[in-house]
Amino acid sequence: MKKSDNLDKELANQIEEHKKANYELASLRSKLQYIDETLQILISFQKFLYNAAPVLWQDKNKLNLVTSNLDIFNLDSDIFCEVDVTLVIEKLKELPQAILYFENPAQILNIFQSLEQQNLNYLLKTVELRSEKNRFLKSASLLEDLLRNELDFIQEQMHSVQKGIEEDEKREKELKEEFFNILNDKIKYLVCSENVLQISNYVEFAYEQLIGPNETKLSTLDQILALEQEYNSVMLELSAFDLNEVKSIEKIIYEDGAKEIKQAKDAAKILKDVDKLTKRLKISYNLKNNL
């Protein structure tokens, strides 16, 4: 009986010790979890403060930030499992260096105040730019309307010019036809009219009388040029004679010319009379033969 009581007492003591051990284990687990979570929070704070630092300082102080969740302590359900201290030390070495740009909280407040001031300035600039944008859009709309009106005016002018060009081309065609018609009439007159033939005969007669026969078959123009040269030579020779004698000779020549013209007219009249008489004789002869 006494032995049984001792066993009960010993069992109660062991149960009490086991409860204390469980309590201490739970407390240790809670502390380790708290330390791990605190470390994760500190790492996130370090990442935030590093990214908030100036870019030039970041370039000079490169820091390998932890991007994944780093479990320092592996808590196992086995209470008798031994903690690997070497593994914990290696994981702690993987943590980034404890370097910060900010030395006191006031610097962070200054940064946020500067950011707030910049945001306010940006908002003011945004409002100002929006006003300028609206003014620009309004001016662009007015300019677009003005350009559209100018374009319509230019198109109207182009249609007017095109119409004028078509009318000018039509007028040009009509003038060209009229020009060729006139040119044909003039050429016909200059080539085969009665006056031209008379002038050609006069030129040929004068050339043969003053210079000689046209054995080289010179054209009318060449004959006129030769007569002009001969006239200049004669006038040059006449300038050496007495003017009164020249006038008297001209008078005689004009009188002889007038007589020749009169004789030519009389001969032409006689020729007409002869033609009439010939026609009458032919008519009379034809009537006699018919009878």
Which tens digit of pLDDT belongs to each residue from 176-231? 888 777 777 776 666 666 676 777 777 787 777 777 787 777 777 788 888 788 87
> Is 62 within 8 Å of 26 (Cβ atoms)?
no
The pTM of this model reads: 0.35
Does residue 122 form part of some domain? no
Nearest 5°: CA angle at 149, between 148 and 153?
115
Last residue of a domain, one of 57, 76, 101: 101
| Shared-domain flag, residues 71 and 13 | yes
Alpha-carbon distance of 261 to 83, in angstroms, equals 161
Residues 90 and 38 in one domain: yes
17, 94: one domain:
yes
Domain end, chosen from 70, 101, 132, is at 101
Mean pLDDT of the chain: 77
**Which residue segment(s) compose the domain that 90 sits in?**
2-101
Residues 6+ apart with CB under 8 A from 69: 40
Residue 131 lies in a domain: no
The enclosing H or E element of 73 equals none
Q: Please indicate, yes or no, if residue 55 is contained in any of the structural domains.
A: yes
Is 15 a domain residue? yes
Q: Are residues 42 and 82 in the same domain?
A: yes
DSSP 95: S
pLDDT at 287: 66
What values do phi and psi take at 39, rounded to 5?
A: -65, -40
Amino acid 256: pLDDT: 78
Number of domains in the chain: 3
Is residue 52 one of the residues assigned to a domain? yes
